Amino acid sequence: MISSNDFRNGVTILIEGQLWTVIEFLHVKPGKGSAFVRTRLKNVKTGATVERTFRAGEKLERATVDNREMQMLYNDADGFHFMDSESFENITLQRELIGGPADFLKDGMRVDVQMHDGIPIGVDLAAHVELRVEETDPGFKGDTATGTTKPAKLETGATVQVPLFVNPGDLIRIDTRDRRYIGRVQ
């Protein structure tokens, strides 16, 4: 069991038989009345998000989620193929199960696959990844002064917004949580 006072981002709980992950939480102590916790939860299976309020100190069942380090081998029409780093067991996950981070997975990348009761429920990708720019309009000297951006297609096929000075072939760092350009890698 876990108290609503102990919520943190990434905590997985069971509500009415469904797995939910805490995306955001806020402890509210109004001047009048009792304290409560306002949360935004994501359904692990469907990906739907809901906002829900819990009383301060309310007890909920905490889901046991194991993270197993796996290596992404390749992706094809069947899905994304991973190999367990310890047992060398191979599993295939569908794009819908992985969600948004699937855009940044490349062959050979090591990730944590989240397991609940031996069933994969998601992939925990690093907060930042380094990927090569495949296609974008060429940059020109002096394009660093403005905050303007342009679309760039990465080696994984994902498209992100980058500053004007980024050129094809550049290695850039991307924040996987909000698809934001962080910087070039030397």
Domains and CATH numbers, the chain: 2-62 (2.30.30.30), 67-124 (2.40.50.140), 128-184 (2.40.50.140)
pLDDT digits (tens, 9 = 90+) for 123-152: 888 888 999 999 988 876 666 666 788 899
Structure tokens at 17: 């038989």
The predicted pLDDT at position 174 comes to 92
CA atoms within 13 A on the CB side of 56: 9
* 98: confidence class by pLDDT, cuts 50, 70, 90: confident
The secondary structure of residue 4, as a DSSP letter, is G
pLDDT digits (tens, 9 = 90+) for 69-89: 999 999 888 889 999 988 899
CB 181 within 8 A of CB 160: yes
The predicted pLDDT at position 133 comes to 92
